[in-house]
Amino acid sequence: MPPRSWLFVPGDSDKKLGKAMTTGAHAVIVDLEDAVAPAAKPQARILARDWLAIHRQHVTENRPLARWVRINAIETGLWREDLAVVMAGAPDGVMLPKCEGPDQFRMVAAEIYELEQRNRLPNGATKILPLVSETARSALTIPLYVDEPMPRLAGLTWGAEDLSAVLGASRKRDAAGAWTDAFRFIRAQCLLVSHAKGVWAIDTLYDDFRDEEGTRRAAEAAKADGFTGMLAIHPSQVPIINAAFAPTEEELAEAHAIVALFSANPHAGTLQYNGRMVDQPHLRMARQLLGIS
């Protein structure tokens, strides 16, 4: 199953890093970018590396927790220093903020390849998750990911905060709470391209962590729309996201039934199930829900 909840944890906070494994998050993203002041970044890299290394083999609730790190954007010139330090901790993946298309993705992938060799890590073990919306240019490059060969691409995700500042937008949502046009357009592209590539589609965070009902609505909408997970900015959001994305007993039962139906009829393209027709897309969804490759 893909990680459902992706929790950002400041890389310069030993205390918060120490509590990260107990939050229930499926993936922890040690943040070296927005959450860390420039003067604190060198120490944050060391803390991130050590945390990644310590928890490399950690298992919580009989499942591995994914260990990710968000490096600084290409434009800052800090990203190579970030990678040079944290790759020694063997992260499961690297989040690339403000990614302005496949060219920047390939730059980071090439650097990771060299560092995997240097740190004796398996080639290709470190995945990349680009944030594809934080500048106007990055948002316009989302469709370019569809046809590019990217074996390290784990998924796509997006964010609204940086882009709203770039656009000078005074709002991101309308009076009813729905995303306004630019943000809705980006979210839809992120979702569609992720599914076209067969990678994770991870929805953006809900920025008011004290609003539990708002977080719940956002998480339930993300799942209903087809996202595989959602970012979290605070530990209190993690159980809400996990609950929203967890399949119900009815969904699991139906998925098992559809898989069994096609197993019993391996040459069929379309079958009848409970009075409705099901076909190969239904089978793919059922297998994905059950974690069957």
pLDDT at 159 over 50: yes
Give φ, ψ of 68 to 5 degrees: -120, 165
260-289: average pLDDT: 86
**Regarding beta strands 276-279 and 270-273, do their DSSP bridges make them parallel or antiparallel, or are they unpaired?**
antiparallel
What residue numbers does the annotated binding site cover?
70, 134, 162
pLDDT at 23 over 90: yes
C-alpha span between 293 and 290 (Å, rounded): 9
Residue-range domains of the chain with CATH: 5-246 (3.20.20.60), 250-290 (no CATH)
Task: Measure CA of the first residue to CA of the last residue in the chain; give whole Å.
Answer: 10
What residue numbers does the annotated binding site for Mg(2+) cover?
134, 162
What residue numbers does the annotated binding site for substrate cover?
70, 134
pLDDT in tens, 45-81: 999 999 999 998 665 445 578 999 999 999 999 999 9
198: left (phi over 0), alpha (psi -120 to 50) or beta: left
C-alpha span between 119 and 102 (Å, rounded): 25
pTM: 0.88
